[in-house]
Chains A and B, each alone.
Chain A
Amino acid sequence: MPQTLVEKIIARASGQGAVKPGDLVTCKVDLAMLLDSGGPRRIWPRLKELNAGVWDPDKIFLASDHFVPAVDAESAGILKLTRDFAREFGIKNFYDMEGIGHIVLAENGHLAPGMFVCGGDSHSPMGGAYGCYMAGFGGIEMTAVVLTGEIWTRVPETIRVNWRGKFGRGVTAKDIALKLCCELGMDNAFKAIEYGGDTVRAMQMSERSVLTNMAAELGAETGMIEPDEVTLNAMRAAGRTPAADALSWRSDEGAAYFAVHDFDAGALTPQVAAPHAPSNSGPVGNYAGMAVDQAYIGACVGAKLKDLQMAAEVLKGRKVASTLRLLVAPASKQVTRDAEKDGTLGILLEAGATLLPSGCGAYAAMGAGILADGEVCITTTNRNFQGRMGASTASVYLGSPYTVAATAVAGKICDPRDMLGETVP
């Protein structure tokens, strides 16, 4: 019987010949991603209580990215505990303040098609851009994963989302992701989203991973994209040789989908999600003119090299409005180095941006750049729930790097197409 990609991976990981949606199975985990936030600080005391260790230190990836760099005694203590955990259990794949875990994971070649990966963070579906199953779990559940190397799951149904055609100027993968939050809603629990169509095929991994990252906002178990040469080239660039069967990890012809949605990328315009939910999205024009206190370029979904380059396209030769502050937290140290080399960083700084450390930072109200009562922020991040970036009376709007950069210049929410002109560089 034909199977979808997620069914094939779960069948392999659970040792079954085939599975169907609704089946309850126990899977062997190929890789467990732990972060400082919900990782060792929550897991280690439990391992001690159980008088047990980890199942396989070589299958654990650990990154400190939420509380970095330490700003007080508590965060310093959490980061020290994370380092001690890595040492105690011999975790070689430990990335201490190298950047946001989801980004560092891909940069260092830890992902491959067909893998079954569990992550201790809700945006774990981002890894599904590599054609693997990657889903998010809480620290309590990750305790069981690092202890046993196993996890139960109910095989999700697959929703296929196809985008066809070419983007207009100033439209990006982020605009697709925001549009889908509105179109599909945020309540797709126990579903896997599979993205396809020629628009997605034409994207590099940076943009593809925006779609899979924000499968989390759709409430899905995971988001996935079938691998192709773009995927394999990204793996090679990250120092990993793809397996001979890598491209076989795709949905079978005739596989049963829960639903299939088709969208036209050519008709899409820049989108903005208004407070207090990503599903509250619409054309940027709906919010044009709204005065903004802070523009933020950061987080796993919105501060990769490509995102910084988009912001620089707008900011080149322009200045940030005097009534607004622009904060930029590149997603990793590698991104910062690459942006420095190709001149992107210089353009952002010249425009008046404040450079922040690589990490989740203000996006999760844990690091520098949180909001005061009543302030308005526009951000390249993925979630704008009440209180998400600090004060519960603050308002957070979500947009693409183009839209956030254009707003930073105008001082109020602004359609980036007004500043980009018609020529695609």
Chain B
Amino acid sequence: MSEGNAWVFGDEINTDLMAPGLYMKSSNEEMAKHCLESVNPDFAKNVTPGDVVVGGHNFGVGSAREQAALNFGTLKVGAILAESFARIFYRNALNFGIPCLFFPDYATIKPGHRLRVDAALGRIDNLTTGTQHTVDPLPAHLLEMIRAGGLMPHLKKRFASAK
């Protein structure tokens, strides 16, 4: 469950916009400062922990670079909602513990709307408009990983219990 303000982006937001190649050698913290800067220069500066990123069609299209998804984790984004996701980005974001939900009604969300997202139930509450949306919840095996905090904590648990 997360709650925060909506940051709204359009269709086919690609990984070069999320993690520009020019900064690929930088630290995670430095890289995150440039996340989506050419689309919305205020985003990385003003996003606050728990905020929700909303995209349109094919969110995260492009490269396998994990920094594209990791930047949202570094910026402590609470959830990503999009009409559809590119597959490598989708897997990367979940692996970093960021819930990603397919959200057909994405266009009803305006910048700054207050959203509450429950990935386990597949429920999105728009607290600004008072609207509720039901979407497909995350599959059980991914929910288990998200609850652990992502792939690394999940692997730690698995390897600790194996020892």
Contacts and interface: CB of A to CB of B under 8 A. Distances in A.
B5 interface: no
B89 to A, nearest CB: 8
Nearest to B154: A144
B64 interface: yes
Contacts of B57: 187
A388 B84 contact: no
Interface string B60-100: 01111110011000000000000011111011100110000
Interface string A52-77: 10000000000000110000101100
B101 to A, nearest CB: 15
Contacts of A46: 152
B58 A140 contact: no
Given A75-B25, A366-B21, A388-B21, A138 B12 contact: no
A49 B152 contact: yes
A206 interface: no
A192 B112 CA distance: 38
Interface residues of A, number: 49
A72 B96 CA distance: 29
Nearest to B63: A122
A385 B14 contact: yes
Nearest to A390: B22
A386 B87 contact: no
A50 B151 contact: no
A138 B25 contact: no
B152 A138 contact: no
Given A140-B151, A366-B24, A186 B69 contact: no
Contacts of B61: 186-187, 219
A21 interface: no
Given A121-B64, A143-B151, A138 B17 contact: no
A190 B16 CA distance: 21
A362 B86 CA distance: 24
Contact of B87 (A75, A190, A389, A392): A190
A386 B38 contact: yes
B22 A137 contact: no
B66 A387 contact: no
Contacts of B141: 24, 152
A136 interface: yes
A120 interface: yes
A307 interface: no
Contacts of B63: 121-122, 364, 383
B38 A138 contact: no
Contacts of B156: 49-50
A186 B62 CA distance: 9
B127 interface: no
Contacts of B22: 365, 370, 387, 390
A141 B91 contact: yes
A259 B78 CA distance: 36
A143 B63 CA distance: 17
B155 interface: yes
Interface string B108-135: 0000000000000000000000000000
Contacts of A52: 159
A66 B17 CA distance: 19
B21 A365 contact: yes
Contact of B86 (A49, A119, A189, A366): A189
Interface of A: 24, 37-38, 42, 46, 49-52, 66-67, 72, 74-75, 78, 119-122, 124, 136-141, 143-144, 147, 152, 186-187, 189-190, 219, 221, 277, 364-366, 370, 383, 385-390, 392
Given A139-B64, A364-B63, A386-B14, 8 more contacts: A24-B141, A49-B156, A137-B88, A138-B88, A152-B141, A385-B62, A387-B16, A387-B17
16 contacts: A66-B24, A67-B25, A140-B69, A140-B151, A143-B151, A144-B155, A152-B141, A186-B12, A189-B85, A189-B90, A364-B21, A365-B24, A366-B21, A385-B15, A388-B16, A390-B22
Closest 3 CB pairs of A and B: A365-B21, A138-B66, A138-B92
Interface of B: 12, 14-17, 20-22, 24-25, 38, 57-58, 61-66, 69-70, 84-88, 90-92, 95-96, 139, 141, 150-152, 155-156, 159
